[in-house]
Copies of this chain bind each other. A is one copy, B any other.
Amino acid sequence: MNPRLYSFLGKQSGPWRVQRIVHVCGDTLPDVSHIELVAGSPDVPSVWALRGVTSNERYVERSEKTQLVAVQQGLGRPEASRAALIPIRKNAAWWALTQDERRQIFEDVSHHNAIGMEYLPPIARRLHHCRDLPEESPFDFLTWFEFAPEHEAAFDSLLTRLRATPEWGYVEREVEIRLERA
């Protein structure tokens, strides 16, 4: 098994309780009361399961990576009792762009890394890719965030700012699942 594979299980019990599911655009996901994040792809009962693989960064340049590594936090901090799972699918126009065009929209125009940097270290984040899985995946990316309750307003602000960028014009499906430790 790929050690970078993770699954998000939508369930009626589990370590993270759903506060709300926000239907941002495209089809939403079936209602569940809890989410469990597990390594690999175990065959356990769930209402739905989304899986993705962490990978090398596609757009980060060395100067940005150096900054990121210096301040970003890992998952599982005791104070991080809030979380969010945001599955996203980008449209065909995005995937038809070349690497330089995607990078330009991502950073030069939309400042995705630069905006995200402003919210470090409080907001921890892990990106999972699903576009190149063997199954037809309903999403391209699953991003998981963890933060303390006092940083909830900052997290809301991060989402608002990113969704206002030209990059988000390429997002055709997005669901925001807000969570607290059960």
A residues in contact (CB < 8 Å) with B: 1-5, 41, 51, 53, 55-62, 64-65, 95, 98-101, 103, 129, 131-137
* Copies of this chain, whole number: 2
B132 contacts A59, C-beta separation under 8 Å = no
Given A61-B100, A100-B61: A132 in contact with B129 (beta carbons within 8 A): yes
Q: Which residue of the partner chain, among B60, B64, B133, contacts A133 with CB atoms under 8 Å?
A: B133
* Structural contact, B136 and A1, CB atoms closer than 8 A: yes
Query: Are B1 and A132 in contact, with the CB atoms below 8 A?
Result: no
CA distance A133 to B1 in the complex (A): 9
Whole-angstrom CA separation of A167 from B98 in the bound complex: 21
Q: Which of B2, B62, B101 contacts A132 (CB 8 A)?
A: B2
Q: Which of A61, A62, A98, A132 has the most CB of B within 10 A?
A: A132
Knowing A58-B58, A95-B56 touch, does A2 contact B100 (C-beta < 8 A)?
A: no
Is the Cβ of B5 less than 8 Å from the Cβ of A134? yes
**Cα of A41 to Cα of B134 in the assembled complex, Å:** 8
- Assess the A98–B60 pair: CB atoms within 8 A: yes
| Chain B contacts for A98, CB-based, 8 A | 57, 60-62, 64-65
Q: Which residues of B contact A51 (CB under 8 A)?
A: 134
State in angstroms the CA–CA spacing of A95 and B65 once bound together: 13
Complex contact A61–B2 (CB within 8 A): no
Nearest chain B CB to A179 CB, angstrom units: 24
Expressed in whole angstroms, the Cα–Cα distance for A21 and B132 within the complex equals 28
Closest B residue to A53 using CB positions? B132
Closest partner residue, chain B, to A134 (CB atom): B5
What separation, in Å, do the CA atoms of A103 and B3 have in the docked complex? 26
A55 touches B131 (CB 8 A): yes
8 tightest CB-CB pairs across the interface, nearest first? A61-B100, A53-B132, A62-B98, A65-B98, A5-B134, A55-B132, A56-B95, A2-B136
